[in-house]
Amino acid sequence: KYDEKCANSENLKERPPIVTIMGHVDHGKTSLLDKIRNSRITAKEAGGITQHIGAYMVEKDGKKITFIDTPGHEAFTEMRARGAQVTDIAIIVVAADDGVMPQTREAIAHAQAAEVPFIIAVNKIDKPDANPDLVKSQLAEMGITPVEWGGEYEFVHVSAKTGEGIDDLLETILMQAEIMELKADPTCPAKAVVIESRIEKGKGPVGTVIVKNGTLKKQDSFVCGITYGRVRLIIDDLGKQKKEVKPGEPAEITGFDEAPIAGDTLVVVESDKLAKETADKWKTFLEEREKSKSTKATLEDLQKMILEGELKKLPVIVKADTQGSVEAIKGSLSKLKNEEVKVDVIHSDVGAITENDVILAKASEPKAIILGFNVRPTSGAKTKAKQEGIEIRTYSIIYDLLDDVKELLSGLMTPKVKEEVTATVEVRETFNVPKVGTVAGCYVQDGVVHRGDFVRVIRDGVVIYDSKLASLKRFKDDVKEVGKGFECGIMIEGFNDIKVGDILETYQKIEEKASFEG
């Protein structure tokens, strides 16, 4: 559900692949990461000094690649254990003078378990005793057969010392990324994975994140596991301050309430309030999970929680004559929810409606409505409610109460917008009016055109523009409407490319009150 909001395929754009380097100790992971980092031109261009933020980006043939700057599979595994898969492609480094070693096998096992595709970098190819063929046959024995031997695995010969093969490696990564069609929607609220975290004097908690989807902006409110906050500073891998981070890009950010945990996912939410609420709820949720040890808490659970928090709430206080009625009403009210609205019973009790109930109702945000079933307000409560503008409604039939609440929920829901075509108009002439634009000389074939109407321009049966009328005239005069069989002059907002023969379809948007079902 959460992702559906963002899965607008029109907005999907290619994003840089995120790469982790793994392999046996001393096979050259750190050297390779250093060599790749120093090979980037962007650092010099930007005049920046490389800043270690836990990840960096390089550009190759106009395409970007993000490398996680902590070698080894520990971080990879740790993150996966927390449910965050940040790596798209793994590089398994094998020293050509040493061959496959225990940690090489381990690294491969990790990548395979995570279903992350990997590329073999046969390193130290500059060494006189390098034996790349031995590496290939050792891996082929494990079922990892090189492409040149008829297999599916890319092997690239590199030297982290001389830089030989680095370009090749980057190209191979980009090729793999292309096959994977890594896409994200930069228009939606960001989701980012924390890869490093520390506390810095004067800055407070600092976290390095890689954005997986959406664009992370300064001032965004977010929840990140049990912590939350608002993005204060964004610093990229060149030490430059930025306003936003796009999908696939790394950045260091500040603004966390507490240090985040590597592997946790940061999710941007609507408000600070929702961020704090969700983080608090998440804490309780984790504690309960820990106790029951039943299932793992997942990112989906967190997203469900955020969605729940994003629902528009109708806060109510329920007072009734018996405990049975209270429970029955609460039970029925809890079922009144859909993907947009829900009832939030903030308090319920047996007995008359008291001043205390009114005070509670007032303290709620938005103000709660008091529902009384077979009970009435005390005179003090009545006066107080009047003063504070609190609504009290009383009922003697549960169905009436529920119907009323449904009506209130409908009022909270976004009205449905319906379109109604008002006229079909033919463009017979066009006039260019200097400094004003193009006026279409039109004939109304059907219906009535109104001044404030929306309009679609249809050319050869295809809608080429959708906008609003900028003006509607008969001869020189502005008019309110023009009916069927009459001529008129029309200008369209933002559109001057009108041509003779175009058809204009004018329409109005009619808001229909939504109705709560259920």
Q: Is 25 annotated as a binding residue?
A: yes
Query: In terms of DSSP bridges, do strands 369-373 and 312-320 run parallel, antiparallel, or are they unpaired?
Result: parallel
Q: Is 13 annotated as a binding residue?
A: no
The answer to whether 333 and 341 are in contact (CB under 8 A) is no
Closest CA relative to residue 484, chosen from 429, 517, 431, 442 = 442
User: Smallest distance from the beta carbon of 414 to ligand GDP, in angstroms?
Assistant: 55
The answer to whether 83 and 194 are in contact (CB under 8 A) is no
Q: Is 124 annotated as a binding residue?
A: yes
Q: Is 123 annotated as a binding residue?
A: yes
User: Smallest distance from the beta carbon of 27 to ligand GDP, in angstroms?
Assistant: 5
> CB-based contacts of 5: which residues, under 8 Å, 6+ apart?
188
Query: In terms of DSSP bridges, do strands 191-200 and 204-213 run parallel, antiparallel, or are they unpaired?
Result: antiparallel
Cβ proximity to ligand GDP: between 25 and 359 the closer is 25
Cβ proximity to ligand GDP: between 23 and 260 the closer is 23
Cβ proximity to ligand GDP: between 123 and 303 the closer is 123
User: Smallest distance from the beta carbon of 124 to ligand GDP, in angstroms?
Assistant: 4
Exposure b/e, 70-105, CB count within 10 A at least 16 = b: bbbbebbbebbebbbbbbbbbbbbbbbbbbbbebbe
Three-state SS at 490: strand
Prior bond of 366 cis (ω within 30°): yes
Q: How far is CA 267 from the centre of its chain?
A: 7
Cβ proximity to ligand GDP: between 122 and 226 the closer is 122
Cβ proximity to ligand GDP: between 126 and 301 the closer is 126
Kindly list the residues in this chain that would bind ligand GDP in the complex (CB under 6 A): 23, 25-31, 71, 123-124, 126-127, 159-161
User: Smallest distance from the beta carbon of 71 to ligand GDP, in angstroms?
Assistant: 5
Cβ proximity to ligand GDP: between 27 and 80 the closer is 27
Q: Is 250 annotated as a binding residue?
A: no
Q: Is 418 annotated as a binding residue?
A: no
User: Smallest distance from the beta carbon of 161 to ligand GDP, in angstroms?
Assistant: 3
User: Smallest distance from the beta carbon of 144 to ligand GDP, in angstroms?
Assistant: 19
Q: Is 203 annotated as a binding residue?
A: no
Closest CA relative to residue 265, chosen from 292, 305, 294 = 305
**Residue located via tokens 């975290």:** 197
User: Smallest distance from the beta carbon of 63 to ligand GDP, in angstroms?
Assistant: 25
Nearest position to ligand GDP, beta carbon = 28
The answer to whether 413 and 483 are in contact (CB under 8 A) is no
Q: Is 306 annotated as a binding residue?
A: no
Tally of CB atoms within 10 A around 512: 9
Cβ proximity to ligand GDP: between 26 and 287 the closer is 26
Binding site for GTP, residues? 23-30, 69-73, 123-126
Binding site, residues? 23-30, 69-73, 123-126
